[in-house]
Structure 1
Amino acid sequence: MSGAGASHGTNVRDLAAISVICLAHGPALLALGLHGVRSRWFGAAALLLVLGTLVFVSDLALRQGLGVAPLPLAAPVGGVAMIGGWALVVLGAIAGQATE
Structure 2
Amino acid sequence: MTDRGEIGRRAMLAVAGLLGAIGVMSAAAASHGGDARNLGAIAAIALAHGPALLALTLAGRGRMLGIAAVLLAVGTGVFIGDLGMREWLGRGLFPGAAPLGGVTMIGGWLAIVGAALVWRPAPRES
The structural deviation recorded for 1:68 is 2.3
The structural deviation recorded for 1:14 is 0.3
Q: 1:48 to 1:70 in 2, by over 3 A?
A: closer
Q: Which has the higher contact order (CA 8 A, sep 6+)?
A: 1
The question of 1:34 aligning with 2:58 is answered yes
Larger radius of gyration: 2
Alignment match, 2:69: 46
Deviations 1:35-92 (A, max 9, x none): 33x2111000000000000000000000000122241211011011000000001111
Paired amino acid for 1:84: G
CA RMSD of aligned residues (A): 1.1
Distance 2:52 2:107 in 1: 14
Query: Does the CA contact (< 8 Å) of 1:35 and 1:42 recur in 2?
Result: no
Deviations 1:22-41 (A, max 9, x none): 000011000111133x2111
The question of 1:78 aligning with 2:121 is answered no
Alignment match, 1:91: 114
Query: How many percent identity over aligned positions?
Result: 56
The structural deviation recorded for 1:8 is 1.1
Pick from 36, 54, 57 the counterpart of residue 12 of structure 1: 36
TM-score by length of 2: 0.73
- More deviation in 66-75 or 45-54? 66-75
Distance 1:29 1:69 in 2: 25
The ranges of structure 1 where at least 4 consecutive aligned residues each deviate by more than 6 angstroms after the TM superposition are none
Structure 1, gaps ≥5 residues long = none
TM-score by length of 1: 0.91
Distance 1:20 1:90 in 2: 22
Residues matched between the structures, number: 97
